[in-house]
A and B are shown apart, each in its own frame.
Chain A
Amino acid sequence: MLKTFKIGGVHPPENKLTSGNPIEILPLPKTVFIPVAQHIGAPAVPLVKKGDAVKAGQLIAKSSSFVSTNIHSSVSGTVKRVDFQADSSGYPKQGIYVDVQGDEWLEEIDQSKDLVKTFDFDSETIVKKIQEAGIVGLGGATFPTHVKLIPPKGMKAEVLLINGVECEPYLTSDHRLMLEKPDEILIGIQLLMKAMNVEKAVIGIENNKPDAIKLLSEKAKEYKGISVTALKVKYPQGGEKQLIKAVTGKEVPPGGLPIATGAVVNNVGTAFAVYEAIQKNKPLFERVVTITGKNVAKPSNFLVRIGTPTSELLEAAGGMPENTGKIISGGPMMGRALASIDVPVTKGTSGVLLMQKEEAKRDTVLACIRCSRCVSVCPMGLEPYLLMTLSEKQIFDRCESNHIMDCIECGSCSYTCPSDRPLLDYIRFGKGKVGQIIRSRNK
């Protein structure tokens, strides 16, 4: 019996079209737009101004508080202007336009492909370097990694969980990374272990990636304290709380931090970024992005510079198919539809999915038939139908008492609803309102 989390979960069609395609390097675009808020927390403060010459890897926006990160230029060239551009929601966000000229990296970045295995840093230096390199959780939530590595007072991390689950359908960026950079990832994990002073690390991988499980299990023998666990295929196993439950069997208390169970979760992509930041002095300015969809001519995995417009990715994948209904940044379950194809790739973009018109269409909303499918698939054990009704009627006190804040927004309820009710839309709205109420109460 393979391990998995106990309650809820769905199994959407996997459609991992690109799992056999090696990571290719995307040609540099003409202009990049690097947003200053690519992470959870306070936006970074721009350090450059119009006309400044920048090199790839140069710090261009500085973190403004503890829960915030640095932003580095992903290309070399001249700063065109510091301005606002619409993000995936259509609301303008501040960022830095850089005109690309050549491809010059900062001298201290080690551009060679050689593997650097040994390191001699204490944990504080590692955390500091991670903070300086602007590393965030690359699974999609983009929570600053250095914050995770410093546990709150009175709590101690016991185990490091590495998330190689990639439970979202279509996406294969983590899968390809595990296949192509296993040693780098394992060294990154060792660095993270050292930073947190833990002896044990477990890589959780879903059973639909047998090649990655085999490769990493073999390689992990050379590294002390790292093991690989195969997990049953079930969405949303890549959720932090679900992964902890699946691997350690412990449950994160409602409203509590994952560290309460002694576990800290990081993505394989994050481990790779940590390796590059510390062993190669390379800040986080590029990432692997899957571009896929049933009608896409050339679905691929690309190594993309942060700030590259989505339109460049589309072009490299063979253009936009005619009956594209929606372009989604991220996977089909949790991703966001883009309002425009000028939206840039950010640190949290794990994939770009082109959905056909018939796939993307939302059917007419019918009345709730009380089948309770949403209740049975909710991985957090909530009652989505109730939370939706309460949010719709704006009864926010009851939303709170029914634990709306524990929703992880995985979308399993909306996916499974036979009446096509927009459950998550309303729950997200209620969650936002309850969050506001809680914040104003704590003031």
Chain B
Amino acid sequence: MSITIIYTIATLSIIGIFAAVVLYFVSRKFYVYEDPRIDEVEGQLPAANCGGCGYAGCRAFAEACVKASGLDDLNCPVGGNDTMNTVAKILGMESVKKDLRTAFIRCNGTCDHRPKTSQYDGASTCAIAASVYSGESDCQWGCLGYGDCFDSCDFDAIELRSDMGVPKIIDDKCVACGACVDACPKNLIELRKQSPRNRKVVVACMNKDKGGVARKACAVACIGCTKCEKECKFDAITIENNLAFIDADKCKLCRKCVPVCPTGSIIEENFPPRKIKVEEKSELQNS
């Protein structure tokens, strides 16, 4: 009995040693040099593999960073400037400061603003609904509300709000990876420059129809009246195809365009409440 055990151990050990020697030489022969910095850079990345950088995953992005001569065109939107600074330090390159961005859904056509004129009961994804059908309201530009953006988000940054019909981006969680931008068949989602405290003034509408048609379909549609364009002192607002657009890079967040909009399609977010004007205040006191 004991001899069998000894033989077994001996045989297995000899096979093991032999295999180890072979593997040693094979690994020497076929050794592939890989820059150790790739691993180091990859270690710094968020490992979300979201594809927001434009590469297949974090590893591919790390390889691209190591190969590149400068970091101008490379950016990990999830890690942001902090991650990119560390990456730049590892690679001994100069870091380039990029603006932080947040996604924004340019449609405010919730159920109370946009009356339903028909009913869709096909497969409930936006991609299919948009390919066969313009939507349940008369607005063919607006949000369909079946949540393809919600499904595409890896960061739980989209709130579906099925009772309201239009989802909402949760600013604190959004990393601007751009997955929802590609998922939306109506091209409603824009990555906008982030302002301090996430304040924003945005035209929440993509309706390119003429004013009358747009207004009939949705109470908060942009009718292209150009009032906001005239009000803006910084040339941040442009009107094209009956639709206003506020350029986040030029906008100084003065909020003057918001009250002039006759339909209320320009919305402000994360601002403190407006102060009531002095005259109105005195009137209030008098009464």
> Are the CB atoms of A90 and B123 closer together than 8 Å?
no
* A89 on interface, CB distance cutoff 8 Å: yes
Chain B interface category by residue count: 10 to 19
- Asked if B127 and A339 sit within 8 Å, CB to CB, the answer is no
Decide if B134 touches A428 in the complex (CB within 8 Å): no
Measured between beta carbons, the chain B residues less than 8 angstroms from A86 are 134, 140
Expressed in whole angstroms, the Cα–Cα distance for A336 and B131 within the complex equals: 13
**By the criterion CB–CB under 8 Å, are A426 and B133 in contact?**
no
Task: Check B133–A432 contact: CB distance below 8 A.
Answer: no
Contact B128 A425 (CB under 8 A): yes
For A217, list chain B residues within 8 Å (CB): none
- Give a binary string over A184-226; 1 marks a CB under 8 Å from any B CB, 0 the rest: 0000000000000000000000000000000000000000000
Verify if A362 is at the interface (C-beta below 8 Å from B): yes
Q: How far is the CB of B270 from chain A (nearest CB, A)?
A: 35
Whether a CB of chain A sits under 8 angstroms from the CB of B132 is yes
Asked whether, in the complex, the Cβ of B134 is within 8 Å of the Cβ of A425, the reply is: no
Q: Does B118 contact A (CB under 8 A)?
A: yes
Closest A-chain residue to B118, C-beta based?
A: A339
**A119 / chain B contacts, CB cutoff of 8 Å:** none
Asked if A362 and B134 make an inter-chain contact with CB atoms under 8 angstroms apart, the answer reads no
Is A319 close to B, CB under 8 A? no
- In the complex, the chain B residue whose C-beta lies closest to that of A86 is B134
Determine which of B117, B121, B127, B134 lies in contact with A91 in the assembled complex, contact meaning CB atoms within 8 Å.
B134
Which chain A residues lie closer than 8 Å to B134 at the CB level?
86, 89-91, 339
Min C-beta distance of B180 to chain A, whole Å: 15
Interface contact A340-B121, CB-CB below 8 Å: no
A425-B135 CB under 8 A given contacts A90-B140, A340-B117, A340-B118: no
B272 contacts A by Cβ under 8 Å: no
Using a Cβ–Cβ cut-off of 8 Å, how many residues does chain A contribute to the interface with B? 16
CB distance from A13 to the nearest CB of B (A): 21
A89 to B133, CA, bound (A): 4
Closest to A363 in B: B121
Q: How far is the CA of A425 from the CA of B129 in the complex (A)?
A: 9
| Minimum C-beta distance from B152 to chain A (A) | 11
Known: A90-B140, A340-B118. A422 touches B123 (CB 8 A): yes
How many Å from the CB of A66 to the closest CB on chain B?
A: 27
Query: Interface centre among A339, A362, A422, by most B CB within 10 Å?
Result: A339
A92–B140 touching, CB < 8 Å: yes
- Kindly list 10 other residue pairs between chains A and B, CB separation below 8 angstroms, not including A426-B123, A429-B123: A86-B134, A89-B132, A90-B118, A91-B134, A91-B140, A92-B140, A339-B117, A340-B117, A429-B127, A429-B128
Q: Which residues of B contact A (CB under 8 A)?
A: 117-118, 121-123, 127-128, 131-135, 138, 140
19 CB contacts below 8 A, A to B, read A86-B134, A89-B132, A89-B133, A89-B134, A90-B118, A90-B133, A91-B134, A339-B117, A340-B118, A362-B121, A422-B123, A425-B122, A425-B132, A426-B123, A426-B128, A428-B131, A429-B123, A429-B127, A432-B131
